[in-house]
Amino acid sequence: MVLVHQSSWWLLKEMKVNATQVVYFTLNAYLDTSSFTCFFFMIVLILYVLIVGCNVLLIVVICVNRTLHEPMYMFLCSLFVNELYGSAGLFPSLLIQTLSDLHTISAPLCLLQVFIVHSYGAVEFLSLAVMSYDRYLAICHPLQYKTIMSPRRIVFLIAVIWFPPFLAVGGTTFLTFSLQLCGEIIDKIACFNHSIIKLACYDPRLNNIYELVMSFLTVCAALSVILYTYMRILKVCFSGSKQTRQKAVSTCTPHLASLLNFSFGVSFEILQSRFNLSNGPSMLQKVLPLYYLTCQPLFNPVMYGLNMSKVLKGLILVGKRSSLDSSGFTDEYN
């Protein structure tokens, strides 16, 4: 009995020693691409420059043109800021790792990446939910729209988009930080929370429960709003005029495309992190988890930018005439 107790004590002590030694993580999913390093680096760099350029351009268009200071465009501006935020959490690290022979990342930077990546996903989902609510009011209650969507309501909804995810993911990151880890190899291209939890010396039940509860609440809240609003929009479309249907299709198509694209990427990451999908192609397992972090930040500005062609023309006219009031462009979403 004494020997068992002593061996258990020694094992716990050894686990603590191992835990204190984890000052960096090794990202084990990178392939040996030494002969194509510059090629992959340029691809990642070009993609990042496109993401930053497209999102910053549309943010400037919305902020500069006073005719676009409407609720829908304010929510779009918040969405584009989130795309910049999420891509900043991934692409600088991705560029460094592409040029590096040893794919390591320090523990603080890894946890920072976990916080950014997961909060980006939550903010994205809540942004799409709030935008669906805005479209519901514009289509189903057009006469009361401006009264309901007052400046104070807009500020409140943007706060709902950003603050709850930051608090929830902050709790997740803190719990992960407090774990004692007995490993340093992450079988991913980037740091994800569940990948770090797997390295815990003991059963991280509290972390798993907290993460599942927060994810469930975020998804359920956003999904409930989206389903309810689109059911009401469909009802109005079927009973309304042809003009109403055309307006609904033109304003909801980019939103639905963005929602489906994001849901696909996030669903694959959740399935892969929680279940054993080792039977699938190894390349897909390594690349697809990054889909929603690489494609969504570029997909959104391109998709919405195609529906804002007059706004982009207006920005050119503003630059030539040095007058914001002379563009004369109307809000395409209302």
Average pLDDT over residues 207-236: 89
Tens-digit pLDDT profile for residues 82-139: 999 999 999 998 888 888 878 888 888 999 999 999 999 999 999 999 999 999 998 8
CB atoms within 10 A of CB 157: 21
With contact defined as beta carbons under 8 Å apart, do 89 and 297 qualify?
no
Contacts of 67 (CB under 8 A, 6+ apart): 314, 327, 328, 329, 330, 331
pLDDT band at 33 (very low <50, low <70, confident <90, very high): low
Give 26's DSSP letter. E
When computed from its CA atoms, the radius of gyration of the chain, rounded to whole angstroms, is 23
The domains located in the chain, with CATH, are 23-321 (1.20.1070.10)
What pLDDT, on the 0 to 100 scale, is given for residue 1?
41
For the ranges 16-30, 207-221, 268-282, the one whose mean pLDDT is highest: 207-221
CA gap 169, 183 in Å, rounded: 23
CA gap 263, 248 in Å, rounded: 21
At 334 the three-state DSSP class reads coil
pLDDT band at 141 (very low <50, low <70, confident <90, very high): confident
The pLDDT > 70 percentage for the chain reads: 78
pLDDT band at 319 (very low <50, low <70, confident <90, very high): low
With contact defined as beta carbons under 8 Å apart, do 72 and 138 qualify?
yes
With contact defined as beta carbons under 8 Å apart, do 130 and 63 qualify?
no
Which is more confident, 59 or 241? Answer: 59
What are the angstrom distances between the C-alpha of 287 and each of 187, 188, 189, 293, 327?
12, 9, 8, 11, 43
What pLDDT, on the 0 to 100 scale, is given for residue 18?
42
Q: Is the pLDDT of residue 169 over 90?
A: yes
pLDDT band at 10 (very low <50, low <70, confident <90, very high): very low
Q: Is the pLDDT of residue 14 over 60?
A: no
Strand segments (E) across 157-253: 185-186
Average pLDDT, the chain: 80
With contact defined as beta carbons under 8 Å apart, do 61 and 311 qualify?
yes
Contacts of 18 (CB under 8 A, 6+ apart): 180, 181, 182, 201
For the ranges 46-55, 57-66, 192-201, the one whose mean pLDDT is highest: 46-55
Strand segments (E) across 10-164: 24-27, 104-106
Contacts of 142 (CB under 8 A, 6+ apart): 334
